[in-house]
Structure 1
Amino acid sequence: MITSTVELRNVAGTEAALGWAGSHTIVVDRPEGKAGGRNLGFNGGQLLALAIGGCFCNDLRYAAHEMNIDIEDIAVSVTLQLEGAPLIAVGAELDVICTSGDGSDTWALIERAKSVCTVANSVMRGFPVSFRVAG
């Protein structure tokens, strides 16, 4: 099994959190005026949408390398639908533009990326989330 661990800590003087994995960092916050939020970073829903879209973009590149296709341009827009109380994600829609360097059809490439996209496949299948309270 492969594992991935990220860390989050509060940002001093704010109610935001700083997250990191290795040398990469991101700020997580709520919108201005919402529960102390200052809009200093992404909220959870935005991060989920970015995870889905970002993973798909990476998988387009992986698939392109496997299929020996030169990608000229990628544009992905992710719309995450949230509802309920508490809010939960009930759907996500990706609008994808992917063009090849030689102008050939990229349908097979997009289908391959869809079939292996870790985040999208994980969300679609669901997985348990557990909480442990430390010291």
Structure 2
Amino acid sequence: MKVEVQFRNLPGTEAAVGWAGGHTIVADRPIGKAGGLGIGLNGAQMLALAIGGCFCNDLRYTAEELGVALGEISIDVTLSLEGTPLVATLAQMNVTCSTLDGTDASGVIERARSTCMVSNSLARGLPVEISMSA
């Protein structure tokens, strides 16, 4: 199984638009940083969103497998960055989740933790290969 996304220059800016299927996202830098206009997310924000978004989805997958109806889901991700070059050194995720019948959702959360593709991939050290063409 493979997932492919593309990024291309966003005409009239120094930002990039990325897409996967029919979904799009804009990548940019803050205003005044390397031509950034602040019209999109930076890499750290996209990484934190990937971590939290994947976990949201895995909570739903897990709940469906267990036959549990979820109520409110709240996920906050804090990504710590340091060094030169800047790298992510820690992702902290706070998960709050309720069930519609009021039972404890901790089992759903724990099972989702064990199956979450993004956080498990990062924890195992995902290699990134970069090829070039001019």
CA RMSD after TM alignment:
0.6
CA distance in 2, matches of 1:130, 1:94: 27
CA distance in 2, matches of 1:25, 1:36: 21
| Equivalent position of 1:10 in the other structure | 9
Task: Report the residue type matching 2:94 in the other structure.
Answer: D
Deviation at 1:134, TM superposition (A): 2.2
Give me the identity figure in percent: 55
CA distance in 2, matches of 1:124, 1:91: 10
Q: What are the superposed Cα offsets for residues 10-30 of structure 1, whole Å, 9 maximum, x if unpaired?
A: 001100000000000000000
Give 1:5-44 correspondences, 5 Å limit.
5-44=4-43
Task: Report the residue type matching 1:57 in the other structure.
Answer: C
Deviation at 1:128, TM superposition (A): 1.2
Give the count of matched residue pairs: 134
CA distance in 1, matches of 2:126, 2:25: 24
CA distance in 1, matches of 2:58, 2:129: 27
CA distance in 2, matches of 1:94, 1:131: 29
Task: Report the residue type matching 2:110 in the other structure.
Answer: E
SS of the counterpart of 1:80? strand
Q: Tell me, which stretches of 5 or more residues in structure 2 are unaligned?
A: none
| Equivalent position of 1:57 in the other structure | 56
| Equivalent position of 1:102 in the other structure | 101
CA distance in 2, matches of 1:28, 1:92: 20
Q: What are the superposed Cα offsets for residues 81-111 of structure 1, whole Å, 9 maximum, x if unpaired?
A: 0000110000100011100001100010000
| Equivalent position of 1:81 in the other structure | 80
